[in-house]
Amino acid sequence: MAQKAAKQLAARNTTILNRVHLISLGNNVFFLLLRLIVYRAKYTRNTLLLYVLLSAPALAIEFWLEKIGRPTYAENGELKRSGEDLEAKGLTEFMWDVLYWTWACIAAAALLGNKAWWMYAVVPAYSMWMASTVLLNMRKGMAGMVGGNGDGEEADGAGDSKKQKKLEKRGAQKVQYR
């Protein structure tokens, strides 16, 4: 039972990566079949150029996930490295979002045409929204650490407890923090 968690992670990563490769292959073949054979796009050159440019991030992410997530085994079949957790939060989660959205854009472009690629503009918009949310939360957190209200001014007793207010009412000195 040695390395049970590592073996489970390796099995889960292998399953996830195999499923991702099959979905990606199916999605890309679907696009190529529909756009180039069934619809015979009027501007095939533009269609292929947009397809290559806008599906490149998904392919890069897929190869990156393959590199970090695929388990490696020794010659005797023993697990050497289970790979990184592909269900981790943070950047890995964002990569999955971009991958899924790119697949959706590819499928929409296959069915609706080149104008569906404009859906891809959601990715940078979402990134900017997330960055602004993080920055605002950091600013609020930093303001709370220095005892101010975020404008460089100190709060006027708004953070005082009830006990401190009662003591001040009786004439006790206000406690000042440096």
**What is the predicted pLDDT for the residue at 3?**
81
* pLDDT (0 to 100) of residue 24: 96
* Distances 75 to 8, 55, 80 between C-alpha atoms, Å: 20, 36, 10
Predicted local confidence at residue 19, as pLDDT: 96
The full DSSP string for 59-81 is HHHHHHHHHHHS-EE-TTS-EEE
| Of 144 and 46, the one with more pLDDT | 46
| Domain ranges for the chain | 4-117
**pLDDT tens-digit series, residues 63-95:** 999 999 999 888 888 888 888 988 889 889 989
